[in-house]
């Protein structure tokens, strides 16, 4: 039987541990946060079962035991929901400790490999994230901006420099590789090595 949770509001408890609609929605109560977590977990299972094409908010809600109307309160589209899955995985990925004895190309390559493999071992989910994150939708754009900022910071940390041209080239290599993988033009098995190779080419013999 489906359960319902209160809709998020600007007066929600200030003691909750997260914002709900991750694209910077209001602070959620513990009960609301639990509902959002159930929806995100159910979305991953649903994508594994039916792929992005068969994914619907209604089916995710049913799998999570949440009323469809409640699910739509937090996620207005399946693209928003899948984008949230990727954002949560990225946010949970520990930032690597920089070892100055390792050359920058290797540090950056390892960092890109770690981020790429957040969904790289799950082809259906990786393809879903690629499609979802390209959608022109305000909630998705806000998550895209957060994801871009997080990856930018990781690149700066791994490189040890905030050179805009180099960081921009690395960001372009990453986004291009993820797009090619999500659309089936690059195999998941090759993704990590190709990104590491691209980092090495961009950075050359940098030490």
CATH, residue 187: 1.10.357.10
Each residue's pLDDT tens digit, 136-156: 999 999 999 999 999 999 999
Contact 139, 21 (CB under 8 A): yes
Contact 66, 39 (CB under 8 A): yes
pLDDT at 4: 41
b/e burial code for range 155-168 (CB count within 10 A of at least 16 → b): bebbbeeeeeebbe
Residues 6+ apart with CB under 8 A from 48: 122, 124, 125
Q: Is 180 within a domain?
A: yes
Question: Would you say the pTM of this structure is higher than 0.95?
Answer: no
The number of domains in the chain is: 1
| Measured CA distances, 25 to 9, 20, 38, 44 (Å) | 9, 6, 17, 21
199 secondary structure, DSSP code:
H
List the beta bridge partners of residue 27: 19
Contact 32, 25 (CB under 8 A): no
50's torsion region: left (phi>0), alpha (psi -120 to 50) or beta? Answer: alpha
Give Cα 63 distance to the centre of its chain.
Answer: 21
The percent of residues above 90 in pLDDT, for the chain, comes to 54
Each residue's pLDDT tens digit, 59-111: 999 999 999 999 999 999 999 999 999 999 999 999 988 888 888 899 999 99
Q: Is 111 within a domain?
A: yes
Output 2 or 38, whichever has higher pLDDT: 38
Domain that holds residue 137: 87-203
Q: In 3D, which of 28, 25, 20, 23 has the Cα closest to residue 139?
A: 23
Mean pLDDT of 13-39: 67
- How many C-beta neighbours within 10 Å does residue 92 have? 8
Q: In 3D, which of 103, 86, 99, 105 has the Cα closest to residue 195?
A: 105
């Amino acid at each position: 039987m489906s359960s319902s949770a209160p809709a998020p509001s600007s007066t929600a408890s200030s003691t909750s541990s997260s914002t709900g609609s991750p694209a910077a929605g209001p602070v959620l109560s513990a009960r609301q946060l639990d509902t959002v977590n159930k929806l995100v977990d159910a979305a991953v299972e649903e994508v594994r079962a039916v792929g992005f094409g068969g994914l619907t908010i209604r089916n995710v809600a049913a799998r999570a035991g949440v009323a469809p109307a409640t699910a739509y309160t937090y996620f207005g589209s399946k693209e928003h929901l899948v984008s949230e899955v990727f954002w949560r995985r990225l946010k949970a990925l520990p930032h690597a400790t920089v070892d100055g004895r390792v050359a920058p190309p290797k540090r950056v390559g390892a960092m890109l490999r770690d981020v790429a493999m957040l969904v790289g071992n799950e082809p259906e989910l990786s393809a879903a994230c690629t499609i979802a994150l390209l959608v022109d939708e305000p909630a998705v754009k806000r998550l895209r901006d957060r994801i871009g900022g997080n990856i930018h910071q990781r690149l700066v940390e791994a490189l040890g420099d905030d050179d805009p041209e180099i960081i921009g080239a690395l960001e372009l290599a990453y986004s291009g590789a993820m797009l090619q993988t999500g659309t089936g033009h690059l195999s998941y098995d090759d993704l990590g090595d190709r990104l590491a190779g691209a980092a090495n080419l961009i950075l050359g013999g940098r030490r």
